[in-house]
Amino acid sequence: MATEAELKAASEKYIPKDYDPALYKLRHSLAHVLAQAVVEKFPQAKPTIGPPNEYGFYYDFDLDVNPTEGELEWIANRMKQIIKGKHAFKVREISADEGRALFKDNPYKLELIDGLTKGQDEYGNASAAAPVLTVYQQDTFVDLCRGPHVEATNDLDPKGFKIQQVTGSYWRGDSKNKSLKRFHATAWASGDDLKAHLARLEEAAKRDHRKVGRELELFANEPVFGSGFPMLLPKGATIRRLLETFITDYERRAGYLHVFTPDIAKKELYKISGHWDHYKDSMFPPMDMGEGGNDDEELCLRPMCCPHHIQVYKSKARSYRDLPIRIAELGNMYRFERSGVVGGLSRVRCMTLNDAHLFVRPDQVKHEIAGVLQLMKRAYADLGITEYRFRLSKNADPDGPPSDKYVDNPAMWESSTKMLREVLQESGMPFFEAWNEAAFYGPKIDVQVKDVMGREETLSTIQADQHLPAKFELEYKDSDDTPKRPVMIHRGVISTMERMMSYLIELYAGAFPVWLSPVQVAIVPIADRHFEFAQKLGNELLDKDYRVDVDLRERRMQAKIAEAEAQKVPYILVVGDKDVEAGAVSVRLRGKVDLGQKPVAEFVAMLEAVVKSRTLK
């Protein structure tokens, strides 16, 4: 039998690679402390499993009552007491029989023990780990657990955790099984860390793009469309149009050619491209056009535009002098994202990507990728996105389990990855590398931004691909008249319109820079006699292509101003007797800032400058 020190050292391997080990141990330990308190409060409760999660941990119990607020408070206080009791977390190895005796009243632990002896982990999945059974004990509470834990409860801060709620769950996550009660808690190294987390949560809730999107009438989810198919309401549609014009203008100036290609194609196309082999799970099932129609083939909604842009390349013969050819499209694509992960605008099932494919000679690859990075940096600066980092996304980890997600061509992976790494190194921009994040046909440079909660997501992506050009036998005639194969660079600069909008809504909490605001100016006449002036001014601004809302409703001025403020309209122009007389407006900036009276011409000049500079105000 292994010693306590050996068992503890061996348990460290269960800490996930990207998890802070100290936090992992602390959360795991608190889960046991919670279980002790729960069982003391409800002796009939049967603990099942209680792993750490993103910001804390949960613990599932078979429990026949719904704990009241008071009972939860009792549990939290009891946890604090246990922590202050300075109990060591003692580990010892047990045999399966010993375990069965120890947990004879808990069918869940018995099932876990059976699974473990058969080489399954606690979720019932096959596991490579040797079936060593261990129990950890603090104070009076013993739990079947593989660890790892902190040394003793002294290492926990009694102010560092919070029980957030109790929800329903199922044993093994299967709704056919017995329903359980899941206690959720967030847990941190100190009370200050907990406070900071709770403040971030509050801020994130305020900025949540689903909430802001509803309040500002940007988009809505209509149940009859289905989940993952949001609709953009007029104001959201305005923002999307602005983004589209913004990015396509940049691309045009950078030598991109814009095309329109169909959203649907024969399944055959995706068989050639390899999507059918490697990406089918993310595609909607094909439509069988069957007997009725002329076509007896199957049609697919495209999950990517690459095979389509390849057809554009192939539409005529290309010579080395034509390259690079940069084909761009605001491409609609359809992905069968699982219902558990779709939500709001950030992950949808029907999306429009700011897509482009660059067909280049091998000697042009680096220069073209550098150009894309340049374009990306400029676009980000204009959008006000300042915090991001680069990730070199590679195929399956050679030390991990084998994967059929990627095309099998080690030489190609090696040379493409090396190429991207060199571009990043030469650009001088810091980056990190990650396994298992590549596209199926090649490695990527992903640009990672953080949301309010510090979670990272990908906005831009650049990929070097030698696979699809080979699959589709792409060629150009080289200077020596021989046919050569171009390299394909896939890139999305401002991501999908959906994901970018969700990001910007949260970045600005709905108070968009003036150039992106769906309504830039609200005009509020004080009384009926100012309506004419207000309307004339509104038309004048509209003629100059500004987005104006003239509020002619029979309502009090204060109410109209408050509503424009709530809608985050950057400029509110109040029009009264003195303004009409002077041909001026009283300007208020969103956020209740009074800019005083300005002649109309002066206001227009200011507006023009602000829009042009793409600033906030």
Query: Binding residues for Zn ion, per CB under 5 A?
Result: 28, 145, 306, 490
Which of Zn ion, ligand ATP, none has residue 333 at its interface (CB below 5 to 8 Å by kind)?
none
Distance from C-alpha of 108 to C-alpha of 517, rounded to nearest angstrom: 55
- Minimum CB separation of residue 171 from Zn ion in Å reads 18
Provide, rounded to whole angstroms, the least separation between the CB of residue 209 and ligand ATP.
12
**DSSP E strands: which ranges in 466-592?**
476-477, 483-484, 487-496, 521-525, 548-550, 571-575, 584-589
- Please tell me the distance from the alpha carbon of residue 72 to that of residue 78, in angstroms, as a whole number: 10
Query: Does residue 586 interact with ligand ATP by CB under 6 A?
Result: no
Binding flag, residue 210, ligand ATP (CB under 6 A): no
* Residue 499 found at the interface with ligand ATP (CB under 6 A): yes
Find the shortest distance in angstroms from Cβ 337 to ligand ATP: 5
CB of 319 to Zn ion, least distance (A): 24
**From the list ligand ATP, Zn ion, none, partner contacted by residue 415 (C-beta under 5 to 8 A by kind):** none
By C-beta, is 71 or 437 nearer to ligand ATP? Answer: 437
The minimum distance between CB 279 and ligand ATP, in angstroms, equals 9
Given the complex with Zn ion, which of 145 and 342 has the nearer CB atom? 145
Nearest approach, Cβ of residue 335 and ligand ATP (Å): 5
| Interaction between residue 312 and ligand ATP (CB under 6 A) | no
- The three-state DSSP-derived secondary structure of 151-167 is CEHHHCCCCCEEEEEEE
Q: Could you tell me where the beta strands, DSSP code E, fall in 251-321?
A: 257-258, 264-266, 287-288, 298-301
Instruction: Please identify, using beta-carbon distances, which residue of 322 and 337 lies nearer to ligand ATP.
Output: 337
CB of 467 to ligand ATP, least distance (A): 14
Locate all alpha helices (DSSP H) within 384-409, ordered by sequence.
none
Told to check if 516 binds ligand ATP by CB under 6 A, we report no
DSSP line for 305-363 = SHHHHHHHHTTS--BTTT--EEEEEEEEEE----TTT-BTTTB-SEEEEEEEEEEE-GG
- How far is 357 from 49, CA to CA, in rounded Å? 48
495 contact choice in ligand ATP, Zn ion, none (CB below 5 to 8 Å, kind-dependent): ligand ATP
* Cβ atoms of residues 258 and 252 within 8 Å: yes
496 binds ligand ATP (CB under 6 A): yes
Our finding on whether 514 is near ligand ATP (CB under 6 A) is: no
CA distance 597 to 291: 72
**Could you say whether residue 335 binds ligand ATP (CB under 6 A)?**
yes
Distance CA 440, CA 159 (A): 46
With CB under 5 to 8 Å by kind, the binding choice for 489 among ligand ATP, Zn ion, none is: none
| Position 495 contacts ligand ATP (CB under 6 A) | yes
Q: Which stretch binds ligand ATP (CB under 6 A): 343-351, 428-436, 598-606, 608-616?
A: 343-351
Residue 459 found at the interface with ligand ATP (CB under 6 A): yes
Q: Which partner, ligand ATP, Zn ion, none, binds residue 145 by CB below 5 to 8 Å per kind?
A: Zn ion
Residue 353 Cβ, how far from Zn ion at the closest point, in Å? Answer: 9
- Note whether 320 and 270 are within 8 A (CB): no
- Cβ nearer to Zn ion, comparing 145 with 505: 145
Least distance CB 531 / Zn ion (angstroms): 53
Q: CA-to-CA distance for 239 and 607, rounded, in angstroms?
A: 18
Q: Do residues 121 and 145 lie in contact, with contact meaning Cβ atoms separated by under 8 Å?
A: no
Q: Which of 122, 138, 173 is nearest to 39 (CA)?
A: 138
Binding map of ligand ATP across residues 347-386, x = CB under 6 A, - = no contact: xx--x-x---------------------------------
Output 444 or 560, the one with its CB closest to Zn ion. 444
Among 263, 322, 337, 475, binds ligand ATP (CB under 6 A): 337
Q: Which is nearer to ligand ATP, 179 or 436 (CB)?
A: 436
Residues with Cβ within 8 Å of residue 17, at least 6 apart in sequence: none
335 to 194, 351, 352, 353: CA distances (angstroms): 37, 8, 11, 12
Rounded Cα distance, 54 and 254, in Å:
41
CA distance 461 to 445: 6
Partners of 334 in the beta sheet? 350
Residue 306 interface partner, choices Zn ion, ligand ATP, none, CB cut-off 5-8 Å depending on type:
Zn ion
What is the size of the binding site for ligand ATP (CB under 6 A)? 14
Q: How far is the CB of 313 from Zn ion (least distance, A)?
A: 12
**What are the backbone dihedrals phi and psi of residue 123, each rounded to the nearest 5 degrees, phi first?**
-95, 5
**Closer by beta carbon to ligand ATP, 318 or else 335:** 335
Residue number, 50 or 538, with CB nearest to Zn ion:
50
In whole angstroms, what is the distance from residue 402 CA to residue 409 CA?
14
- In the complex with ligand ATP, the residue whose CB is nearer, 340 or 596, is 340
With both helix axes pointing from N to C terminus, report the angle between 69-84 and 21-41 in degrees, rounded to the nearest 10.
120
- Residue ranges in contact with ligand ATP by CB under 6 A: 335, 337, 347-348, 351, 353, 458-459, 461, 492, 495-496, 498-499
